[in-house]
Amino acid sequence: MQHGETHLKSSDFISDIVIGMSDGLTVPFALAAGLSSAVQSNGLIITAGIAEIIAGSIAMGLGGYLAGRTAMDHYKSELAREFQETVDFPEKEKEEVRDIFEKMGLSPQTQQQAVEELSQDKDKWVKFMMKYELELEEPDKSKARKSAFNIGLSYIVGGAIPMLSYVFTSNPDTGFKFSFAVTVVCLLVFGFFKSKLTGQQPIIGALKVMAIGVIAAMSAYFLVRLFN
Amino acid sequence: MQHGETHLKSSDFISDIVIGMSDGLTVPFALAAGLSSAVQSNGLIITAGIAEIIAGSIAMGLGGYLAGRTAMDHYKSELAREFQETVDFPEKEKEEVRDIFEKMGLSPQTQQQAVEELSQDKDKWVKFMMKYELELEEPDKSKARKSAFNIGLSYIVGGAIPMLSYVFTSNPDTGFKFSFAVTVVCLLVFGFFKSKLTGQQPIIGALKVMAIGVIAAMSAYFLVRLFN
């Protein structure tokens, strides 16, 4: 069990990093591509890229952190409410438990037996209602905070990858070509690992992550040119 | 039931719109704020804003659509695998069902009875394993597609709000002031409805959505100035 938990933590960490990076690669990459078709200086593209990376990482990181806190508050208030309901309306709550067992496909006799057993232990009863009626699991607050931080930080690293080509080249055309080549490779690599971690087919997943980035970048490139 | 479903569909639609808009407001707003501290022309800010809105809406919309398709494929392959397992290893699968009832807090006798009942109907049995062992519900493909489209489109509308101030003013300083005022009001309004739809405290939720946008914009504004 302890070994299992350690494994899970390390995999959560890697999962956050890979998700943040593959998302971070997409939008700054496409933003830079769009600007490449409209401006003459790499400096402007880099400035816009920095602004986007700051904006995106804060929106993702802070947004994720606050969503985690909200989920915790929601869980606590629902837990208190369910507990009070087993005190105030025990028959109604028993009926709700019975409904759940009925939907599982158990016979009326087994339903009745299961309801009686659960309602003898208030903690078990409330825990059951939280999980199977409300489908709420107790959120892990420190995990949500760490996760938000890791995703936000990885977004910055991922976003830096398509921008670096504009730092080391002298004009947007050349910058875009290098940025495109480097980012496509990185999208494939991160898409591969992201798919492995989320249980998808890695090759198909890698191609999908790459396709989203390339379609976003090409659309931005041609539509910005059209608007100008 | 029919009334209930109609209600749910309309609320899903509104929920997608509000989520897309409040997210769309945040990053383009902060990007424009960051650029306001560095460039002298509104034209550049608008160009960058258009590129960001295209990139963000495609990443969100197409990303959401492909994630929905992946979830569907994943569900189908797991369903086929679980079905095969009830054929190949019925005793092992029965043991897994028993474990789930044990964790719910039922007595060994009731566990045994429930396992026997479920394993007599293969469809019920597999459906039970999908929901309670793998915690997978059958995804709604057309809903995922519509939802991705609506979120992507609302992201464009939300993103246009902070950018319009730069269209109707003559320099980045004035543009930023108007953009800030308009976007803060919109973030509060959309945050309020977003919180109502996701079951949070609307006032606190509105303030959180607004705070994320303002912190992202102010960070972009001051950090871009620092980098330049």
CA dihedral A72, A73, A77, A83 (to 10 degrees): 30
Torsion angle defined by CA atoms of residues B171, B209, B67 and B153, in that order, rounded to the nearest 10 degrees: -50
Per-residue pLDDT, A11: 66
Distance of CA A40 to the CA centre of its chain: 36
Q: What is the pLDDT of residues B87-118, one digit of tens each?
A: 899 888 888 889 988 888 888 888 888 888 88
Residues 124-143 of A with CB under 8 A from B: 124, 127-128, 132
Mean pLDDT, residues A93-118 taken together: 88
Q: How far, in Å, CA of A161 to CA of A217, rounded?
A: 14
**Which residues of A are less than 8 Å from B213 in CB distance?**
59
All residues of chain A having their beta carbon less than 8 Å from the beta carbon of residue B217 are 55
Cβ of B121 and A110 within 8 Å?
no
Distance (Å) from the C-alpha of residue B88 to the closest C-alpha of chain A? 22
pLDDT at residue A156 above 90? yes
Q: Is A105 on the interface with B (CB under 8 A)?
A: yes
Quote the Cα angle for B156-B161-B162, to 5°: 110
* Optimal mutation site among B212, B218, B226, B228, interface A, most CBs of chain A within 10 A: B212
> How far separated are the first and last CA of chain A, in Å rounded?
60
Say which of B23, B58, B114 has its CB closest to residue A219. Answer: B58
Interface probe, candidates B22, B46, B50, chain A, greatest A C-beta count within 10 A:
B50
Q: Give the predicted TM-score (pTM) of the model.
A: 0.83
Q: Do A105 and B113 touch (CB under 8 A)?
A: no
Per-residue tens of pLDDT for chain B, all 228 residues: 333 333 344 467 887 888 888 889 999 999 999 999 999 999 999 999 999 999 999 988 888 888 788 888 888 888 898 889 888 998 888 888 899 888 888 888 888 888 888 888 888 888 888 888 888 888 887 877 888 899 899 999 999 999 999 999 999 999 999 999 999 999 999 999 888 887 788 999 999 999 999 999 999 999 999 987
Contact A47 B54 (CB under 8 A): no
Q: Say if the Cβ atoms of B117 and A105 lie within 8 Å.
A: yes
Flag if A55 and B217 touch (Cβ within 8 Å).
yes
- Does A77 reach chain B within 8 Å, measured CB to CB? no
Tokens in use for B178?
């108007």
Looking at the predicted structure, is the pLDDT value of residue A151 above 80? yes
Chain A neighbours among B 22-61 (CB < 8 Å)?
A: 23, 26-27, 29-31, 33-35, 38-39, 44, 47-48, 50-52, 54-56, 58-59
Q: Return the residue of B nearest to A58 by Cα.
A: B216
Confidence of residue A174 (pLDDT cuts 50, 70, 90): very high
Torsion of CA A190, A192, A197, A200, to 10 degrees: 140
Q: Give me the count of residues in chain A.
A: 228
Could you tell me if A62 lies within 8 Å of chain B, comparing CB atoms? yes
**Based on the number of CB atoms within 10 Å of its own CB, is B137 exposed (0-12), middle (13-18) or buried (19 or more)?**
exposed
Cβ pair A55:B117 closer than 8 A? no
Between chains, do B63 and A128 touch, taking CB under 8 Å as contact?
A: no
Q: Which residues contact A94 (CB under 8 A, 6 or more apart)?
A: A115, A119
